[in-house]
Amino acid sequence: MGGARDVGWVAAGLVLAAGACYCFYRLTRGRRRGVPGLRLRPSRSAEDLTNGSYDDILNAEQLQKLLYLLESTEDPVIIERALVTLGNNAAFSVNQVTIRELGGIPIIGSKINNPNQSIKEKALNALNNLSVNVENQIKIKVYVSQVCEDVFSGPLNSAVQLAGLRLLTNMTVTNDHQHMLSSYITDLFHLLLTGNGSTKVQVLKLLLNLSENPAMTDGLLGAKVDSSFLSLYDGHVAKEILLRVLTLFQNITTCLEKEGRLAIQPTFTEGSLFYLLYGEECAQKMRALVYHHDADVKEKVTMIPKF
Ligand SMILES: *[C@@H]1O[C@H](CO)[C@@H](O)[C@H](O)[C@H]1NC(C)=O
Ligand SMILES: *[C@@H]1O[C@H](CO)[C@@H](O)[C@H](O)[C@H]1NC(C)=O
Ligand SMILES: *[C@@H]1O[C@H](CO)[C@@H](O)[C@H](O)[C@H]1NC(C)=O
Ligand SMILES: *[C@@H]1O[C@H](CO)[C@@H](O)[C@H](O)[C@H]1NC(C)=O
Ligand SMILES: *[C@@H]1O[C@H](CO)[C@@H](O)[C@H](O)[C@H]1NC(C)=O
Ligand SMILES: *[C@@H]1O[C@H](CO)[C@@H](O)[C@H](O)[C@H]1NC(C)=O
Ligand SMILES: *[C@@H]1O[C@H](CO)[C@@H](O)[C@H](O)[C@H]1NC(C)=O
């Protein structure tokens, strides 16, 4: 009896092994340019595992196979493709739930520690798509500090830095996890000043989310920020950046006003964002922007509460 069961297990093992080998073979052929995802087609056998359109939605069983593959392989090409496929599938809300229920988030999350920047980026992208789901955010938040460290120590303007920033932005769409960024606010402003246009815009999206949360106002205003920050309010600054720094100013001021804080001289030290925003130099820039050639910019300036 035990023997019969053993035979069954051996047979199952062989089938699995054969499937894995075939999958590995198909994957490593890499017929396409760029980094395609794994091609898995629902309602197909293991042989067709990699023959499907890029956008196929996988079922739970296929996602499980993919997660198993991701967990067990050392091959960077396969890891990367599995992450891309999981990320694409995580664009669908049903799969966001399935991947979490299959224990997929820690498997994907562990790949952000991979020394290969390309793999790191794909893992961050997959987590970003998974983070649209609020329950997933609770599982993803354990990676926030690590992502912050990587974003601020990694190569400036790199794809991996942007991917990290996007994930952090989507983790701050609600107020629930924003406090985790409290100790990185100075770093965010530093990145805002040193990064190029794409980096600046992404940092601003994140800062804007924080700026709407009264619980973050003190952290923002107390942050040490280089005075070159004020040059972002110059008339020639790109509109997508200018509008965002103005909204940042507007939102922070609204939060302060709501709490009646502007009346009682707040205690922020010199060199802080507070000193920059409510100092004479900034006031001058605002007066100049009232005459900006762009109507949206003009309107935004006049919306900043007076104090
Ligand atoms: C995928 O399979 C279909 C039929 O099952 C076949 O017609 C098609 O050529 C295959 N595509 C690739 C890229 O192998
Ligand atoms: C990173 O992984 C990709 C696989 O997608 C591979 O092409 C590349 O050579 C790897 N880089 C390093 C430095 O290992
Ligand atoms: C993430 O989701 C978007 C759609 O929301 C999709 O365009 C993208 O390809 C998905 N995949 C990754 C890895 O980001
Ligand atoms: C991230 O947040 C942005 C803005 O809220 C949203 O458009 C996007 O769909 C979210 N998800 C991903 C995976 O980027
Ligand atoms: C920022 O730098 C990255 C990497 O060098 C580049 O791909 C991107 O196009 C740059 N963006 C802008 C707006 O210059
Ligand atoms: C965060 O920003 C996104 C757009 O980037 C927006 O959809 C979302 O409402 C913002 N959330 C908060 C709390 O500000
Ligand atoms: C922040 O600015 C946005 C865009 O102007 C606005 O919709 C939002 O209500 C503002 N939030 C606060 C708290 O002022």
- pLDDT of 68-96, one tens digit each? 999 999 999 999 999 999 999 999 999 99
- pLDDT of 113-130, one tens digit each? 999 999 999 999 999 999
Task: Quote the CA–CA distance of 205 and 201 in Å, as a whole number.
Answer: 6
Claim to verify: residue 233 and residue 169 sit in the same structural domain: no
198 lines ligand 5 (CB under 6 A): yes
Q: What pLDDT, on a 0 to 100 scale, did the predictor assign at position 29?
A: 39
3-state secondary structure of 81: helix
Number of domains in the chain: 2
Task: Quote the CA–CA distance of 188 and 225 in Å, as a whole number.
Answer: 10
> How far is the first Cα of the chain from the last one, in angstroms, to the nearest whole number?
85
Claim to verify: residue 37 and residue 134 sit in the same structural domain: yes
Claim to verify: residue 67 and residue 128 sit in the same structural domain: yes
Claim to verify: residue 60 and residue 143 sit in the same structural domain: yes
Claim to verify: residue 115 and residue 188 sit in the same structural domain: no
Claim to verify: residue 19 and residue 167 sit in the same structural domain: yes
Claim to verify: residue 148 and residue 253 sit in the same structural domain: no
Claim to verify: residue 29 and residue 166 sit in the same structural domain: yes
Residue 227: inside a domain, yes or no? Answer: yes
Among the bound ligands, the one closest to the CA of 29: 1
Q: What pLDDT, on a 0 to 100 scale, did the predictor assign at position 174?
A: 86
Claim to verify: residue 38 and residue 115 sit in the same structural domain: yes
User: Which domain does 244 fall in, by range?
Assistant: 184-307
CATH number for position 35: 1.25.10.10
Ligand 1 centre from 27 Cα, in Å? 15
Ligand 3 centre from 123 Cα, in Å? 12
Claim to verify: residue 109 and residue 58 sit in the same structural domain: yes
194 lines ligand 5 (CB under 6 A): no
